[in-house]
Amino acid sequence: MSSGTSRSSLSVPMAQSPVSVPLLILKPTKSSLPSSQRFPESLMRHFRVVPALALTLAVSVLGVACGSSSATSSKTPLIVGSIAATSGSAAPLGSSQQSGTALAVSELANGSIDLRTYDEMSDVQAGATAMKKAISDGAHVVLGPTLSSAAAVADPFAQAAGVPVLGVTNATLDMAAIGNLIWRVSLSENAMVSASVKYAASKKSVKNAVLIWEPADGYSTGSAESFRSAAKANGITITSEQKYVEGATSVGSISAAASSGSPDAIFLALRSAPAGDFLVATAASGAVRVGGNGFNSAAVVKSSGAAADGLIVSGSWNINTSNANSKKFVDSYTKANNAVPDAFAAQGYAAIQVLLAALKKAKTASSADIQVALSKIGTVETVLGPFAFDAQNEPSYPAAVQIVQGEAFTLAS
């Protein structure tokens, strides 16, 4: 695992508050008292303070007080380990996530965050290794990993170490099964798929559907369950399920089988790697196509071209949202990366906005204090809109239902 090179200088010792120290200066004077009642001269010498020494002591005390005031106003930078899949099959998602996070730190943190980056390589065990490395490097909080399957293996190490984790893109992760230190920034797959399927039922009159999913992939398995639940809730019958097994089945054969019964819709619970190929293969089916969060990627849509037109997919964010924070983010991200942001970049940016809100409320930049502060941030204005956590550490903000047209995500109406 390689760590990022963007680091701020670390801790500044916290001094105590200035203390007023009185100086007692005694010098002998002639006394009218009888010698028997006077304070003995031998003891008086122990209380004499030479005026020059007294002045030196006073200046020293003043200097300590001034230095203490300055140190108190400084906070130790929050060490943030950002784990993302910047190589491998999920690289389009992880690279966007990491770019959004890095932009937010450069624009908003003002030296209060020491960002250290790690590549999970789109691999479950590599994600766990990255998590261990981030913790050993002293991370106070971790963002990621990108993939929910990697997070399911990696996050328990953070929970055991007392390090809070923000799941930037973990739509299908079962956070409650891991522990109270896991927080979600992305909307859950349930929330996004539910919004998409509801739209398909109410606006496209979908009554039945075929589900395509990948049993060997953790994200796909969770997404498929979300589609089943959403279909039931909206009165849609899933007539068949087609299981894609990489290396054993082909995209073409699975797509042909899904289209053969002329279903009203094809539900696509797939990770981003095969997503584009399935969009191309199902383009002529005539069915309404609804994708899970794996399709919520500019790279997937671009690779599919016109074959992606008409795809319904909900996300945590849409580039056309009217939120002022979002508009500013789109401009700055486009200038910095020479490309428009997608939802994963927006979630990466929002994660830093949430952390900065917590840092303002935290007593110190420690894992324990950040954990407490995350539960008290209230509502934070982010690029995703007004953001808040509920009692289960789930985010609260509306999903953006989108339809792909001309390689762009347009807000559904």
Count of CB atoms situated within 10 Å of the CB of 406:
10
Average pLDDT for residues 6-11, to the nearest whole number? 38
- Kindly state the average pLDDT of the residues 284-292: 98
The pLDDT score that the predictor gives to residue 298 is 86
Question: At residue 12, does pLDDT exceed 70?
Answer: no
Measured CA to CA in angstroms, residue 185 lies from 5, 188, 220, 384 at distances of 25, 9, 19, 10
**267 pLDDT higher than 90:** yes
SS (H, E, C) 284-342: CCCCEEEECHHHCCHHHHHHHHHHHCCCEEEECCCCCCCCHHHHHHHHHHHHHHCCCCC
Distance in angstroms between the alpha carbons of the first and the last residue of the chain: 44
pLDDT in tens, 56-65: 333 343 333 3
Sheet holding 208-213, edge to edge: 237-243, 208-213, 265-269, 288-291, 312-315, 400-405, 408-411
| pLDDT at res. 28 | 42
pLDDT band for 76, please (50, 70, 90 cuts): confident
Query: The pTM is what?
Result: 0.74
Strand order in the sheet with 380-382: 380-382, 385-389, 395-396
Task: Tell me the C-alpha distance between 105 and 295, whole Å.
Answer: 27
User: Domains of the chain: which residue ranges?
Assistant: 78-187+322-397, 190-315
Q: What is the CATH number of domain 190-315?
A: 3.40.50.2300
Q: Rounded mean pLDDT of 149-158?
A: 98
Q: Helix (H) and strand (E) counts for the chain?
A: 13, 15
Given a cut of 90, is residue 27 above it in pLDDT? Answer: no
Whether 100 has a pLDDT exceeding 70, the answer reads yes
Q: Which residues of 153-182 are buried (b: 16+ CB within 10 A; e: fewer)?
A: bbbbbbeebebbbbbbbbbbbebeebeebb
Mean pLDDT, rounded, for 287-294: 96
Flag whether pLDDT at 230 surpasses 70. yes
13-25 average pLDDT score:
38
Contact 199, 312 (CB under 8 A): yes
Read off the pLDDT of each residue in 89-101 and give the average, rounded to a whole number: 96
297: pLDDT confidence band, cut at 50, 70 and 90? confident
Query: What span, in angstroms and rounded, lies between the C-alpha atoms of 244 and 253?
Result: 9
**Residue whose pair of structure tokens reads 């001034």 in the numeric block:** 66
Residue 158 has pLDDT above 80, yes or no: yes
> 404 pLDDT exceeds 70?
yes
Same CATH topology for 78-187+322-397 and 190-315: the answer is yes
13 pLDDT more than 60: no
Is the pLDDT at 69 greater than 70? The verdict is: no
Cα Rg of the chain (Å, integer): 30
Where residue 218 falls among pLDDT bands split at 50, 70, 90? confident
- Read off the pLDDT of each residue in 371-399 and give the average, rounded to a whole number: 97
Model pLDDT, residue 354: 99
| pLDDT above 50 for 16 | no
- State percent of the chain over pLDDT 90: 77
68, amino acid identity: S
Tell me what pLDDT residue 173 has: 92
Q: State pLDDT tens for residues 252-266.
A: 999 999 999 999 999
pLDDT digits (tens, 9 = 90+) for 315-369: 999 999 989 999 999 999 999 999 999 999 999 999 999 999 999 999 999 999 9
AA identity, residue 220: S
Query: How high is the pLDDT of residue 272?
Result: 87
**219 against 253, higher pLDDT:** 253
**pLDDT for 137:** 99
CATH topology of domain 78-187+322-397: Rossmann fold (3.40.50)
Sign of the CA dihedral 267, 345, 393, 1? positive
pLDDT tens digits for range 175-201? 999 999 999 999 999 999 999 999 999
Classify burial at 198, counting beta carbons within 10 Å of its beta carbon; exposed 0-12, middle 13-18, buried 19 or more.
middle
Confidence of residue 170 (pLDDT cuts 50, 70, 90): very high
